[in-house]
């Protein structure tokens, strides 16, 4: 073991919380084996040998967005490739890929200037009516803030209206990097990092769970990554409302940051491992195969991650930014990956309860 990790290793193995500086040291250490060993040790302590996945579908009702995030290849202006689904189109869209095995719809989209809160409550109600057993994981903190401003409602009332209509939990997107410096370069018109955290707190106070993400591999520094993780950990100490942390590897193609190189597998694995070690109060860490590729995600299951996300079927956000992964996988593809990683595949629902069904995905 490299000497800089000896003290950190003692802390991890005795269950002591790691500091900001420990996070920096872990990120900078060349000793990737010890980093992976420690993250794997914590992962097995928390989640044993389980390798979670779910059977999900994505729905992106619109890609029209008023915010011009430099890292985004998905958003469009209405007259330049923008689409907006009518409610019927959205229902038909998910119905086309639906099977009885699907347990989750992951619903996110652009910040559309004219779609009202009623469009979204009608969307949720219509989905619940048609697919009553499916969990609706819908709307990032950024979308919630935008909808509340558009509707001139408090954030609490907006969350309540969406909850009443069928929102069951929230995905973790839109967090990007909380630090003002990096945020002002990559998404200066988006809600601040602090506001993202405040809204997540409100979601948790309303009784709903959410996830959290971090977009890495663009202009952020290592200090800013560690700061992001520590801020999430502090909020989780208060609310315990986060279920899962998902590091998101930046994809530069078709974005305004296309001069930047993509993060490599080493950065992906390091980020998964450091996240597992710093986020000691997060139950789950996801190696999102869509972003980092099935092979790196599989190794991630031995570097701190316990979840691969789901079958997806049609992913748009990173595929429009050059992702080369398939747009979906079958249940047997995912189970094969998990087994070959030496883990036991567990199909879960969105709230990490095991699903015992044998319906084909
Ligand atoms: O909010 C956008 C990011 C997010 C790019 O909660 C990009 O279970 C990389 O949040 N390169 C959407 N990333 C994805 C997301 C997510 C995915 C899977 C599971 C969950 C969950 C959440 O993707 C966006 C943004 O942060 N993103 N553009 C890009 N070019």
The best mutation among 318, 321, 322, 348 to test binding of ligand 1, ranked by most ligand atoms within 8 Å of the C-beta, falls on: 318
Q: Is 246 helix (H, G, I), strand (E, B) or coil?
A: strand
How many angstroms separate the Cα of 270 from the Cα of each of 14, 264, 295, 346? 22, 10, 15, 24
Contact at 8 Å (CB) between 270 and 25?
Answer: no
So what's the pLDDT on residue 327?
Answer: 79
So what's the pLDDT on residue 358?
Answer: 62
Both structure tokens of 211? 């996830």
- Indicate which atom in ligand 1 lies nearest the CA of residue 215: 26
Along the 361 residues of the chain, how does pLDDT read in single tens digits? 899 999 999 999 999 999 999 999 999 999 999 999 999 999 999 999 999 999 999 999 999 999 999 999 999 998 888 999 999 999 999 999 899 999 999 999 999 999 999 999 999 999 999 999 999 999 999 999 999 999 999 999 999 999 999 999 999 999 999 999 999 999 999 999 999 999 999 999 999 999 999 999 999 999 999 999 999 999 999 999 999 999 999 999 999 999 999 999 999 999 999 999 999 999 999 999 999 999 999 999 999 999 999 888 888 888 898 888 887 888 999 999 999 999 999 999 999 999 986 655 5
How many angstroms separate the Cα of 84 from the Cα of each of 65, 79, 80, 122, 173? 10, 11, 12, 15, 20
Question: Is residue 251 in contact with ligand 1, taking CB distance under 6 Å?
Answer: yes
The best mutation among 70, 317, 325 to test binding of ligand 1, ranked by most ligand atoms within 8 Å of the C-beta, falls on: 317
Contact at 8 Å (CB) between 71 and 176?
Answer: yes
Contact at 8 Å (CB) between 137 and 350?
Answer: yes
Question: pTM, whole model, 2 decimals?
Answer: 0.97
The best mutation among 216, 248, 256, 329 to test binding of ligand 1, ranked by most ligand atoms within 8 Å of the C-beta, falls on: 248
164 Cβ neighbours under 8 A, 6+ residues apart: 121
Could you give phi then psi for residue 92, rounded to 5 degrees? -65, -35
Helical segments of 212-288, H only: 222-239, 265-278
Instruction: Give all domains of the chain, ordered by start, each with its CATH number.
Output: 18-347 (3.20.20.70)
So what's the pLDDT on residue 333?
Answer: 92
Gap between the terminal Cα atoms of the chain: 44
So what's the pLDDT on residue 344?
Answer: 97
Ligand 1 centroid from CA 251, angstroms: 10
Contact at 8 Å (CB) between 289 and 33?
Answer: no
């Amino acid at each position: 073991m490299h000497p800089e990790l000896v003290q950190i290793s003692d802390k991890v193995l005795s269950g002591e919380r790691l500091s900001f500086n420990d996070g920096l040291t872990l990120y900078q250490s060349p000793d990737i084996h010890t980093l992976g060993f420690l993250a794997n040790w914590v992962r097995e302590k928390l989640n044993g040998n389980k390798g979670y996945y779910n059977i999900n579908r994505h729905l992106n009702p619109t890609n029209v967005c008023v915010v011009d995030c430099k890292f985004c290849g998905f958003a469009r202006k209405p007259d330049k490739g923008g689409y907006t689904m009518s409610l019927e189109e959205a229902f038909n869209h998910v119905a086309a890929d639906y099977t009885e095995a699907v347990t989750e719809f992951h619903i996110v989209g652009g910040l559309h200037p004219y779609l009202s809160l009623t469009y979204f409550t009608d969307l949720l109600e219509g989905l619940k009516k048609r697919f009553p057993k499916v969990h609706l994981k819908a709307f990032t903190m950024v979308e919630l803030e935008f909808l509340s401003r558009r509707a001139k409602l408090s954030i609490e009332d907006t969350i309540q209206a969406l909850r009443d209509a069928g929102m069951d939990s929230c995905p973790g997107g839109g967090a990007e990097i909380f630090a003002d410096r990096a945020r002002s370069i990559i998404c200066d018109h988006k809600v601040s990092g602090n506001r993202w955290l405040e809204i997540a707190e409100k979601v948790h106070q309303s009784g709903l769970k959410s996830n959290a993400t971090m977009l890495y591999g663009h202009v952020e520094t290592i200090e800013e990554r560690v700061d992001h993780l520590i801020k999430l950990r502090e909020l989780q100490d208060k609310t315990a409302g986060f279920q899962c942390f998902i590091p998101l590897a930046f994809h530069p193609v078709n974005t305004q940051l296309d001069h930047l190189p993509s993060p490599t597998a080493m950065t992906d694995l390091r980020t998964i491992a450091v996240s597992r070690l710093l986020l000691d109060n997060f139950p789950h860490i996801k190696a999102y195969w869509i972003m980092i590729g099935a092979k790196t995600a599989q190794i991630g299951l031995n570097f701190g991650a316990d979840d691969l996300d789901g079958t997806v079927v049609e992913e748009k956000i990173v595929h429009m930014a050059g992702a080369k992964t398939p747009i979906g996988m079958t249940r047997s593809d995912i189970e094969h990956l998990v087994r070959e990683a030496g883990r036991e595949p567990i199909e879960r629902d969105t709230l990490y309860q095991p699903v015992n069904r044998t319906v084909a995905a």
